[in-house]
Amino acid sequence: MNRPAVVPGCIIFALAATKVRPCVVLAVDAANTVATIAPCRGSERGSCVEVKLGCQAAIAMRLTKPTYFHEKIERVSVAAITEITTLRCPPDLFLKIKRHVGFR
């Protein structure tokens, strides 16, 4: 079975810090081997973008509690991504996250 393509705005699950977390892909390199991601965190500390339960993004990310995007991005190997969903981050949230983490 083929995996869905990793594209900017898609929702994936990847190892970030110490556990598999829902993430939003911000960019993928030209060879489609490395993705720049914004991982979710469970706690609100400092400046962050909140994803509240019940919204479209929360449902897509299978959230069970409010989740936050902090000013941190990570790079992961596309081959190491645990799960690539066919779901997309809502455009308004995607732009908000990109602005928040300073990604162009």
Q: Write out pLDDT tens, residues 25-77.
A: 999 999 889 999 888 777 767 788 888 888 888 887 888 888 888 888 889 99
25: β partners = 37
- Residue 94 has a pLDDT of 92
Q: Write out pLDDT tens, residues 15-26.
A: 877 888 888 999
Q: Which residues contact 31 (CB under 8 A, 6 or more apart)?
A: none
Mean pLDDT of 84-90: 88
Domain ranges of the chain: 10-101
Distance, in Å, from the CA atom of 72 to the CA atom of 60, rounded to the nearest integer, reads 21
Q: Does domain 10-101 have CATH number 3.20.20.60?
A: no
- What DSSP state is assigned to residue 46? S
